[in-house]
Structure 1
Amino acid sequence: MAWITCDFYSETLQLSTSMEVFLPQGSLMPLRSSSKLPVLYLLHGRGADHTEWMRRSSIERYAESKGLALVMPGFGRSYYMDMANGLPYFTYLSEELPKLVRTFFPVSGRREDTFVAGISMGGYGAFKLALSYPERYAAGASLSGGLDLASRAAGAGFQESEIRTIFGRVENVRGSRDDLLFLAAEFAAYTGNKPMLYQCCGTEDFLYKDNQTFRRYADSLGIHITYEEEPGGHEWGYWDNKIQRVLDWLPLP
């Protein structure tokens, strides 16, 4: 695969930012009817950056034979939100970034070729995208995601300064478009084609309870999720193994 570090200017964020991109080489790609590549957006965890996936996992090796472009953007500690007292990161993620990626690289804009996955904070971001825009994504995967954000914000999950910066007030989260439980109810009522959803979490992970809460609520709404759990913590040994499962699960043509 070709590895590209792409530095560019975001009009939405009004700043320069970066993403890592892996593109498959032609000799290793499966034959496809389209010249455009399917694309997987890989979202990093809290406190990390756009280099996390390539530094901590063997994602390049796992994806090499899939004919799949990988896009790994940077989002700091934003929790993939339009922050109350910060930058509009979710607007950037959902609107500007995909357009830039399609401008810079030979990736498909078709829903059936577009996927998103993430770990921890990025698992939240991946499900937020898939639930918010089911018409744009064919699959979304959360690996140990922070899926019950309202409870975490009200508990010990965030520093007071982060709450003010990201949410404004804790009370602003529950029932908002940043609350995955709220989005899940909208998603359940959506009558168009829904993206496939994959969720996993280790049973020793501090976010295991959050994952159980989201899973039970989604199940009560009739939302189908491919769910897996096994012993494991909040660490890269677990995620490096599970991302291989995600790549095999993706509905690639």
Structure 2
Amino acid sequence: MAFLQANIFSNVLQMEVMVNVILPQKTEKAFGTNQAGKTEDIPVVYLLHGMHGNHSVWQRRTSIERYVADKGLAVIMPSTDLGWYTDTTFGMNYWTFISEELPAICQELFPQLTRKREKTYAVGLSMGGYGALKLGMRCPEKFGAIASLSGALALAEMLEQFEELPNPAYWTGIFGDVHQFRGSENDPIHLIQQVDVAQAPRVFVCVGTQDPLYPASQYAVQKMKEKGIAVTYEEGPGVHNWDFWDHWIQRVLEWLEE
């Protein structure tokens, strides 16, 4: 595998953005690490970070490079700050960046990446799980599969307790009037209810049984099943931490191959 650290300029965000990239590479090494390497139509995973993370956190906190070494997958790990994969009210359009500009830049810089929907995936944890679901439900023509690990998938319910949230100015800066969040284009449950089932990607949701977001994942899965979306739900012991995500990202990668 090749591991690349890239500084790219985003015209949408009007700033430099860091992106870490794992690419298949043909290698001939000892100790069973030979890899055939692909040079075209490589399946790609957009791997999204959560709050307090950035482009480097998946690489530093998990063994993601080792996990994909024999799978022929490219992994794109962008930094999207604390923007919740949303076109924010303060003018930072993280949704447009992640859904439109970043894939176009990656295809320009790495032409060996696939352009096929069925080989393009979005995966994320916590805030990134929200982002992955949002990509799949709002852009079903672009993603063949999405996965949420401990995702914030019932965000409207959380924002209903807005006055109790720390730093309420932050949330209004991201989403605007949070009292009007339910039913908006940023509400994941609303997006589930609005998506065309015939076009929807297949979905994988996992969460730890001691995770505060455990009810949110169950609720979102219930809504997806009611809608008729193909969803796989799995749970296990764990809380909202990297021990859980390092273990379950391996299961997500297996599921992508199924």
Q: TM-score range by the shorter chain?
A: over 0.9
Offset at residue 222 of structure 1 (A): 2.0
Question: Which residue does 1:183 correspond to in 2?
Answer: 191
8 Å Cα contact 1:30/1:66 also seen in 2? no
Question: Which residue does 2:7 correspond to in 1?
Answer: 7
Question: Which residue does 2:25 correspond to in 1?
Answer: 25
Offset at residue 158 of structure 1 (A): 5.1
8 Å Cα contact 1:82/1:90 also seen in 2? yes
Distance, in Å, in 2 between the alignment partners of 1:29 and 1:195 is 30
8 Å Cα contact 1:205/1:232 also seen in 2? yes
Question: Which residue does 2:30 correspond to in 1?
Answer: none
Residue type at the aligned position of 1:54: Q
Q: After superposition, what is the alpha-carbon deviation per residue over 1:1-53, rounded to whole angstroms, capped at 9, x for unaligned?
A: 11111101101111111100011112455687x72211100000111111010
User: What secondary structure, in the 3-state scheme, does the structure 2 residue paired with 1:131 have?
Assistant: helix
Please give the root-mean-square deviation of Cα atoms over the aligned residues, in Å: 1.6
Q: Select 1:53's aligned residue among 45, 58, 74.
A: 58
Question: Which residue does 1:65 correspond to in 2?
Answer: 70
Residues 128-207 of structure 1: matches in 2 within 5 Å? 128-155=134-161, 156-157=164-165, 159-187=167-195, 189-192=196-199, 194-207=200-213
Q: Select 1:79's aligned residue among 80, 84, 99.
A: 84
Distance, in Å, in 2 between the alignment partners of 1:140 and 1:232 is 21
TM-score, L = length of structure 1: 0.94
- When residues 224 and 78 of structure 1 are mapped into structure 2, their CA distance, relative to the original with a 3 A threshold, is same
Residues 115-134 of structure 1: matches in 2 within 5 Å? 115-134=121-140
Q: 5+ unaligned residues in a row in structure 2: which ranges?
A: 28-33
Q: After superposition, what is the alpha-carbon deviation per residue over 1:193-215, rounded to whole angstroms, capped at 9, x for unaligned?
A: x3110000001001111112211
Distance, in Å, in 1 between the alignment partners of 2:168 and 2:22 is 37
Segments of 4+ moved more than 6 angstroms:
none
Q: 5+ unaligned residues in a row in structure 1: which ranges?
A: none
User: What secondary structure, in the 3-state scheme, does the structure 2 residue paired with 1:183 have?
Assistant: helix
- When residues 196 and 29 of structure 1 are mapped into structure 2, their CA distance, relative to the original with a 3 A threshold, is farther
Question: Which residue does 2:254 correspond to in 1?
Answer: 248
Q: Select 1:214's aligned residue among 212, 215, 220.
A: 220
Residue type at the aligned position of 1:181: I
Q: Select 1:88's aligned residue among 86, 93, 103.
A: 93
- When residues 185 and 96 of structure 1 are mapped into structure 2, their CA distance, relative to the original with a 3 A threshold, is same
Distance, in Å, in 1 between the alignment partners of 2:165 and 2:232 is 26
8 Å Cα contact 1:51/1:72 also seen in 2? yes
Distance, in Å, in 2 between the alignment partners of 1:168 and 1:158 is 16
Offset at residue 159 of structure 1 (A): 2.2
User: What secondary structure, in the 3-state scheme, does the structure 1 residue paired with 2:222 have?
Assistant: helix
8 Å Cα contact 1:50/1:72 also seen in 2? yes
Q: Select 2:113's aligned residue among 104, 107, 115.
A: 107
Distance, in Å, in 2 between the alignment partners of 1:71 and 1:218 is 27
Distance, in Å, in 2 between the alignment partners of 1:47 and 1:31 is 33
Distance, in Å, in 1 between the alignment partners of 2:179 and 2:153 is 17
